[in-house]
Every structure is written in structure tokens, then in C-alpha cells.
Structure 1
Amino acid sequence: MAPSVRQVLWSLVTVFVVGTVVTKIRMFFRHPAAPGPKLALVTRLWYALQVWGAISRTGTSKPIADMIVRVAPSLYSIDDPEAIKVIYGVKSPMAKSSWYSAFGVPGIPNQNLFCTRDQSKHTIMRRKVAHLYSMTSIKAYKSHVDDCIQLILDKFDRFAETGHTFSLDHWLQCYAFDVIGKITFGKTIGFLESGGKDISGIMKSLDSLTSFCSVVGVNIALLPLCLLVFGDPSKGPMAFTKEITGKREDDNLGDGSSISTDASYGDVKTFVQKLEKLRAEMSPQEFEDCRIEYNALTNVVAGSDTTGLTLTAVLLNICTHPTVHEKFRQEIKIYHERRNNEIVVQDKRVEARPTITFDQAQSMPYFQLVLKETMRLHPATGLPLWRDLPQGGAMIAGTFFPGGTSIGINSWVIHRNTSVFGNDASLFRPERWDPSLISNEDLARMDGCYIPFGAGARTCIGKNVSLLEINKLIPELVARYEFDLISPPDLVWQGQKPEPKKTNNFFVKRKDIMVKIRRAQVA
């Protein structure tokens, strides 16, 4: 007699349950013992639930005592300085884990550098566009950045006049968004000019996209089901990018050559125009048409949130540490005096003043210490950068891990490693990087553990864009305004200094930082 449908179903369920149990038991005995939540022994659910929420829930708000922490089956967070080169070094055989696949557009493999897991394909893709992100290439966009600086200064001047309370983190993200828009598409997206409106809801869409990908990537097998249930969160940002790219292409000449949206920029081409030139020089197999949109979207996703949140962190650290604030102010003052830059003052308003160039900002030694210490304590990303061990496994942090295990280092953890940064590793102290106060050996050791932009061959390709935006804006804001922090309702108090709560969906953000500003007294 043939088995009934019910018998077949029960047999399948039994096989599934038994198979799952056997797999978990094998994993338990094959993988090293390590501290971590009990639930993380048998399921990735615990880690998935931690990924989306307050940063304190993901264990990154303070250093952990153990070098190895299990956050899920076959998923280990490592806090060992010696492991950085082993995991992320240029010659490391460890590929990106399946977590990154969630950040791609469904059905299209290897469409951007971030989600491409195959190292050889990543190398080829990066080689094609690396020169577009070189510091020499990025410096050519200084006028684009200056335009956006003038826009945000105009808004902040108005806030200073009226005493208006505003969200500092939101406006700094607006600035970052408009800069990356101008560099990529040749025009600002319009956040600053619109008074801080979320144009086409793109900020909210990108935040939702990042949260979705970070959570679903924990168990990539669930991606098809999640897309079916929740829809594809990349559609909104992708449509936005196509719309902006299309509008820019409408400005092209009939023969296909491009014109700049502003003649004052001369021969400076937008990022999209440079990508179009690459496409024209390569075969369709080497550079597909869709790569233009995917690279443009990657610029927007990676270049707005990360720069905006870093700007917020830098400014908060300066303004909540009076000694740091005063030393930086004096450095700016000395810089202006040395270069004979005149500040014209009339009715307590600055009518004209040269903006500080990127090279000049980088020549301010104390400012660079402040910036580096901020990115140590508040790197943009707050989750481990997962890598898969190859067949045969590897020794990491003195422990053997079998092949197929995923391991990663969280910059929020390694940057607070007391064996490297000292017992005060959790404190903001720019002087720790001062080469005149520490030995070359200690400085090299700290630099070796400093990974705010990642490490090895997968270092963030757009870091020069972010550094340009930050170095040009921060000195202007600190020289021009006094910032009064208005306590939002969700502050965590540390002594007398308010510390806003952070959210972590891969990007670690301080949100709703409400401030009032006043024009600084010009000496």
C-alpha cells in the first residue's frame, strides 16, 4: 500500500528535525568552546534580534573581556589585534561571508564592490574604478564641497539669528547627502535647499534598506522568503538613483557628449560621467550599462550615512570637551593669522572669509588627532566584517576554527582593546595619538588596530570622499558658531556630560541631537 500524504509529510518533518538536531550536535562538538549567549549555541535568531536596535544590544558599547565570543552557530566575533592581518590582510584566503549577499540587488550577482564575495572578481571590479576614488581625483571636487558648505552655513546663520532649535545629526546628513549628490550626479539632491526635507523619502528608504539587509544577512537562506513577505527594500533607492541619473542624462548634448551643470567647474566631470567614459572604453562584458546605476547607488548609500554620522560624532566630541574645543579654536586662529586671512565683520556678521582647504585642514595637527580619536571611538560601522574560513580551517586568536566558520572583527570592540589603547581606551583623548608623547612602537601598534574604514584589499574605496567633506566643514563650523546641546529625552548620562543613545543597524548613529547655535565672537 502506498503511503498517505500525511505519512509522507510526517516523514519529511521527522527527517528535517532529526537532520537539524544532528547538524547542531556536530557543530557543537566541531567548533571551539567560546563564551556567548546560550541561545547562540543552537540558532542565529539571537544575533539577528540584536543587529537591529540600540548599540548596547549588540555588545559594542563597551569592550568585552574575551578574545572570542560566539554570537551564533559557526559565527564568532574576534577581539585580537594579531588577527586583523590574518583575517583581512591582502593575502588572506578568507572571502566575505554570505551576510554581504543581502546587500545586493536580488538576482544580479557582483553588482557592487561591497556585496561581491569572490575575491578575484572584486579585484577586477575595483581595479576598473579605483582611480576615480584616488585623492587626486576627489580633490578636484573641492568646489562642489564648497558650494554645499555655503548652503549649510547660510542655514546655520539663520538658525543662529532666530535661536531655532534643530537636529544637528539630520542637517549634517543633509550636507553629506548633497555633497555626494553633487559629486556623483553633478547637482545637489536638494536636502539643504529644501530646508532639510527628506527628498523622495530617500533617507528613510536607505535606513530601512540597511536594517533589512543587516538582519536578513544573518541567515541568507531566508532572503527569498523575506523578499516575498516584506518586498524588496532596494526598489525605492534604486528607482531614486535611476531618476536622478536620468535627469542628469537629459542635460546631455544630442550627440551623447555631456555638459556640466555649472560652467564654473570647468573640466571637472561628475562621477556618473566618468563611469560613462569607462563604459564607452570597455566591452559590454567588461562593464555593463547597469554598473553605472549600481556604482552611483553605492556612492549614495555608503557616502551619506557614514559621513553624516562621523561629522556628528566629531562635532559632539569637540563641543562637549571644553579643553579640546579651546585648543582647536586656537589652532584655527593661528592658522588664519599665519596666512593673513582677514575676517571682515559688520553688524556682528562675517561677510567674507576664505574657506579652509583640504590640505590646510590636514596641516592642522591637533584637528587631525581629534578626527582620528573620534573615528576610533565612533567608527561608522558597528557590526563585525564577516569572513568565511577556507577548507582546512585556521588558527585564530590561539584557537582552531574549522573550514566554513564565519569570523569577524568589530571595530567598536577592537578600538577599545585596552592592551593596545591603554586602560583609558573607552575615553576620548586625542593626545593618545600625539607622536611627541608616545613611542613609535606604541603608535604603530595602535595604527595596526585602527580600522574605521576596514582593512586590507577591502578597505572602503570611498574614504577619501568622506575625509574631504569632514576636513573642509568641521573647521568652518567650530570657528563660526557656539553650539549649545539641548538634552533630548533619551540621553544616557555619564557624569555631567550627556551622551545620546546610539542605534546600530550596521551604521552606528546618534539621532535627534537637538542644538541651538550662536555666532562665535570673532577675535
Structure 2
Amino acid sequence: MSSVLDGLSGLPIAAWAGVVVAAVLLVHFVPFIADPFGVRSYPGPFLAKISDAWLGWVAAQGHRSEVVHELHQKHGKFVRIAPNHVSISDPDALQVVYAHGNGTLKSVFYDAFVSIQRGLFNTRSRPEHARKRKIVSHIFSQKSVLEFEPYTRMHVQKLLRQWDRLYDLAVKGGSGEEGEGWKGYDGRLWLDSLPWYNYLAFDIIGDLAFGAPFGMLDACADAAPVAISQEKAMASYGDDNSPEITYFPAVQILNDRGEYSASLGVLPPHWRPLVKLIPWYRKGNEAVQRLAGIAIAQVAKRLTVPTDRADLLGKLQEGKDDEGNPMSREELTAEALTQLIAGSDTTSNSSCAITYHLAANPLVQQKLQRELDETLGNDDDSVSTFEQVKRLPYLEAVINETLRIHSTSGIGLPRVVPEGGLTVLGRYFPEGVVLSVPTYTIHRDQAVWGEDVEAFRPERWFERDEKAIQKTFNPFSFGPRSCVGRNLASMELLIIISSILRRYHFVLEDPDMKLDTKEGFLRKPVQCRVGIKRRTA
């Protein structure tokens, strides 16, 4: 062996280049020719068939769902998007790929989302997931979620007060200082609504998860405490020490982390240490550590200041598995981080998208406000209660139509075919193949939703086949790994949207504006500039 290495060390640069090229060809083309997973017949980009780098590049550009959707429109229901990954754009595939008891597991994609330790979202072990879900699921039952309603309503009220304050200044011709981004003209307050929904969502989940908000609505700014030393923060549990912290923009950290992990996750594990040396990925890795630092700082603070409040962390502390064991402190922090991510991103993105579509469709906005006025009265000074709005059909249709067009998670969530293989829509896939069903694409299935799938039209929810819709609508995923917090997300959206639309009327600053998005793990609006006007009775 040493003689071979000695011989290679003496090669000129050109020969070394030849060795590298030969190695690349060997690694990529031999599996392509051998076709160990039996997926050669499935169409897709040639580069995707020979290397995971194609999907890594697409994911890093921030529009994976749209690219995969275009491939399905071109090639049909089955598309090969990586050497061993087949995307299936059929609602019936959801019931197979993600079903209970089918044996499929989350792929190595989810390893890229691990920071403190594996949590409910990124654990790939079925027994471990079952253990964690048993502890966590009761926290998000409808009964438990109602305990969080007063805190949700309190922060929605705070957002309304801030917008009222700016509106009063705007109608007098005022404008924000440099960097504040708001101005007043034509009797309206003009601003980008996205940052405000981010502030609201972070304050709500901070209050629910850690017993205190981040204070973003008060500060009108994106800032959160981050533990500089994870080890020191973790060691400070139970004593009077406080972890060394600094402040970073949490929303930006969350965005960077999502884009980084979603791109890194589609690359083979043995590539990842080298890829992290690339500046863009290095920045994303820093975001992962800082996001973990936010959870560590908040958990350390919360556990050193006991409270009787019914928050998520307290409920997680009380939870026990089948053997009566509670979560360890590190596991507790990992789960709190999961709730921080899931509880902030989805609420803010969806609220922003709903606001955009209502502003872009004035007749829909008018119809929704009429339903709210008839049900809740003309008193727009109070924040809606869940009991008041939980069964309003048009409000629900508006929210669902937005989640159809702008599903927070549009990518196909990857699952590994288990031993014995899996048959999907009459096609057999052997063990080791990765399968996914892209939500973005099945939410645009014309057979289910009609030919006008790109139009925002809540009325379709009263016109289409209910069974087909229930089978296809997938904003919270499906099966045993579906979103455990969907009850909380639904409650928040119902209260937020009903309260805001009772109080304000929205128009787009640019009537021709399209909702630009960027995708990591979630599809996020880039901005949504609107004009806000107080409604009159």
C-alpha cells in the first residue's frame, strides 16, 4: 500500500487531475450504469441521475418546489430528482409513502437539522420517535392548546396597538425614520407586513414555550438572546449562573438555518464536512449554532426562574415515557428548539401570505369581513376568541386556500423504502430507494382542485369533492410523522386573521406585485408591502 501511495505522490499535476476525474467518473457513473435501485427508467434531469449535487444546487437556490413541479408537469407523476430519489406527484401516494405501519423511515436528509441532539422532528428512529411523541403529543391536544389562547390574544392585541400607533402617525403625513420602513400617504399606513408577523409569531412562541416573549413587538425589532457558550449554558441548569449571551436577529438566523439545512440535507453525509468549508454553508452552520443558542439561553433562563404558568416547557418537564422517565435536560432543550422553529416560522409565513392574497383580492377580503361583522359585530377593538371564530366557514376557506397555494412546507418529505420494498401506484421500489410526494405539486392537481389551480379562490372549498380534498390537502404532512402542533397553528391563525381583518382594510402597494418567496425547508415570503386603513363601522 505504501508503495502505491509513494507512486501517486510523485505524479505531476496533470496526472493528479486525471486521477480525480477518474475517481469522479467511478463514483458517479458506475452506480448510474449498474442501477442498484432499479430506477433507471424514471425520467428526470441527467445530472440528477448521476449526482446528488443537482438537487443540492436546486435547494440552495431557494425554489426547489417550483423546479420539481415543473419537472412533474413535463414528465408526469414519477420524476427522478437524485440517483436514488423518486418524486411522486399523486395524492394517492401520500397514503402509501407516509402511512402508519408501512415501515418507511425518514432519510439522512434530516441529519442536517440536528444541532443540540435529535428531537421529535429530526429523529429517524421509529421507537425513539414513538417515545418522544408520547411525551409531546398531549401538550398539543385541543384541550391543552386552549390554555395558550389568552397569551396568543394578548400578543395579537399588542400588534394591533402598534399598528394603530403607526396608523395615527401615518394619516398625519408621518413616516418612519431610516430603516423603519413605514410611511403615510393617501390616508393609509404603508409598510412591509412580514417583519411584523415575524415579531408577533416569535413573541407568541417565546411566551408559550419559555414563559416570556422575546419582546420583539415592544422593540419593533428582530433581536433575541443567544447563548455564546452552549456548554456553559447547559451546565448552568439548577444554579444561579447565567449563560454568557449576546443578541442576534432571530428571524434572519432562522431563515439562514432553514436554507442551509435543506440544501445540506440532500447531499450525501460523506460530502458534508467538506461542503461546510464553502463560505455560504459555513454561514449556514453558524446560524444552526446560534439558533440552538437561542433555545439554550431561553431554557436556562426559564428553568432558573420557576413559574406556575402553563407553558410548553413546563408541560414537557411533566411528560413521561412508557417507563415513567422524563426528558433529560438536553433533550428538553432540543424539543424546545423544535417548538421554537415550528411555532414561529409557520405562523408568520402563513399570516403574511393570507394578508397578501386578501389585499390582492378585494372581493374576497370584503366577503370575509362581512362574515366577521355578521358573526362578531362591528366592535373591532377586541381580539377574537377561538370560540367565536372556530366554525366560520369562509374564514376557514380563506386560510385553507392560502395553505393550498402557499403551503409552508412545499417540498416532498423524503422517506426510505424499508426491507421488502414498497409498491406505490403499481410501481415497485426496492429497499433503500428514497421516495417523496411534493405538497406544492399535489396542491396544484387539476383533477382535484380544478383548472384554475393558480388562482386564489376560497369558494373552491365549497365546490370540490370533499373526499378528494381531504385526501390531497397536506399542509401539516400525513401519517405518524405529521405536525404535532397543528391544533396550535390553527388556533393562532384563526385568531390572528379574524382580529386583524375586523380592524383593518388592506391593499397592495404595487397592485401587480406577486408574492416572491424563498425556500429552505419552508417556503417563505420575501416581503409583502401593503397599505393599511382602519375600518369604520
Aligned to 1:170: 195
Residues 228-307 of structure 1: pairs in structure 2 closer than 5 A: 230=282, 231-252=285-306, 259-260=307-308, 268-278=309-319, 287-307=327-347
Confirm or deny: 8 A CA contact 1:183 1:270 kept in the other structure. yes
Encode CA deviations 1:98-136: one digit per residue, 9 max, x unaligned. Answer: 101111127x4xx21111111222112101111011111
Distance 1:251 1:208 in 2: 31
Give the alignment partner of residue 101 of structure 2, picking from 74, 83, 91.
91
**AA in 2 matched with 1:97:** S
Secondary structure of the 2:334 match is helix
- Give the TM-score of the pair, scaled to structure 2: 0.83
Indicate the percent of aligned positions where both proteins have the same amino acid.
26
Distance 2:356 2:437 in 1: 26
Q: 1:518 to 1:20 in 2, by over 3 A?
A: closer
Secondary structure of the 1:498 match is coil
- Give the TM-score of the pair, scaled to structure 1: 0.86
Confirm or deny: 8 A CA contact 1:133 1:461 kept in the other structure. yes
**AA in 2 matched with 1:508:** R
Q: CA deviation at 1:170?
A: 1.3
Aligned to 1:114: 121
Distance 1:2 1:198 in 2: 55
Q: CA deviation at 1:81?
A: 1.8
Encode CA deviations 1:188-241: one digit per residue, 9 max, x unaligned. Answer: 111111113333222111211111111111123323334566255422111111
Q: CA deviation at 1:8?
A: 5.4
Aligned to 1:448: 471
Secondary structure of the 1:287 match is coil
Q: CA deviation at 1:93?
A: 1.4
Distance 1:173 1:58 in 2: 24
Give the alignment partner of residue 140 of structure 2, picking from 133, 143, 147.
133
Distance 1:22 1:150 in 2: 61
Distance 1:12 1:511 in 2: 44
Encode CA deviations 1:415-447: one digit per residue, 9 max, x unaligned. Answer: 10112222222222211111xx45xxx210111
Distance 1:458 1:175 in 2: 27
Secondary structure of the 1:82 match is helix
Confirm or deny: 8 A CA contact 2:402 2:456 kept in the other structure. yes
Secondary structure of the 1:515 match is strand
Aligned residues: 480
Confirm or deny: 8 A CA contact 2:134 2:321 kept in the other structure. no
Aligned to 2:249: 201
Q: Does 1:325 align with 2:365?
A: yes
Confirm or deny: 8 A CA contact 1:311 1:470 kept in the other structure. yes
Distance 1:450 1:357 in 2: 26
Distance 2:51 2:23 in 1: 18
Confirm or deny: 8 A CA contact 2:358 2:506 kept in the other structure. no
Q: Does 1:509 align with 2:524?
A: yes
Q: 1:15 to 1:506 in 2, by over 3 A?
A: closer
Residues 215-226 of structure 1: pairs in structure 2 closer than 5 A: 215-219=263-267, 220-226=269-275
Q: CA deviation at 1:516?
A: 2.6
Q: Does 1:156 align with 2:156?
A: no
Distance 2:467 2:322 in 1: 42
Distance 1:39 1:4 in 2: 33
Q: CA deviation at 1:16?
A: 7.3
Aligned to 1:417: 445
**In angstroms, what is the RMSD of aligned CA positions?**
2.5
Give the alignment partner of residue 59 of structure 1, picking from 62, 67, 72.
67
**AA in 2 matched with 1:31:** V
Q: CA deviation at 1:301?
A: 0.9
Q: Does 1:185 align with 2:207?
A: no
Distance 2:100 2:69 in 1: 29
Aligned to 1:346: none
Secondary structure of the 2:383 match is coil
Secondary structure of the 1:303 match is helix
Q: 1:8 to 1:54 in 2, by over 3 A?
A: closer
Confirm or deny: 8 A CA contact 1:67 1:397 kept in the other structure. no
Distance 2:289 2:91 in 1: 39
**AA in 2 matched with 1:21:** F
Distance 2:49 2:301 in 1: 51
Give the alignment partner of residue 368 of structure 1, picking from 396, 402, 414.
396
Q: Does 1:144 align with 2:151?
A: yes
Q: CA deviation at 1:17?
A: 5.0
Distance 1:137 1:305 in 2: 21
Distance 2:341 2:125 in 1: 22
**AA in 1 matched with 2:160:** L
Q: CA deviation at 1:171?
A: 0.7
Confirm or deny: 8 A CA contact 2:78 2:86 kept in the other structure. yes
Encode CA deviations 1:388-437: one digit per residue, 9 max, x unaligned. Answer: 11233222233332221111011110110112222222222211111xx4
Distance 1:19 1:327 in 2: 59
Secondary structure of the 1:400 match is strand
Moved more, 57-66 or 360-369: 57-66
Give the alignment partner of residue 42 of structure 2, picking from 24, 34, 48.
34
**AA in 1 matched with 2:195:** H
Aligned to 2:51: 43
Confirm or deny: 8 A CA contact 1:95 1:388 kept in the other structure. yes
Distance 1:29 1:55 in 2: 27
Q: 1:282 to 1:297 in 2, by over 3 A?
A: farther
Confirm or deny: 8 A CA contact 1:369 1:430 kept in the other structure. yes
Encode CA deviations 1:259-283: one digit per residue, 9 max, x unaligned. Answer: 24xxxxxxx4111112222369976
Q: CA deviation at 1:6?
A: 3.9
Q: Does 1:310 align with 2:350?
A: yes
Q: 1:7 to 1:399 in 2, by over 3 A?
A: farther
Residues 347-426 of structure 1: pairs in structure 2 closer than 5 A: 353-426=381-454
Distance 1:280 1:191 in 2: 35
Secondary structure of the 1:326 match is helix
Distance 1:130 1:280 in 2: 11
Distance 1:81 1:235 in 2: 37
Distance 2:527 2:436 in 1: 31
Confirm or deny: 8 A CA contact 2:209 2:311 kept in the other structure. yes
Secondary structure of the 2:473 match is coil
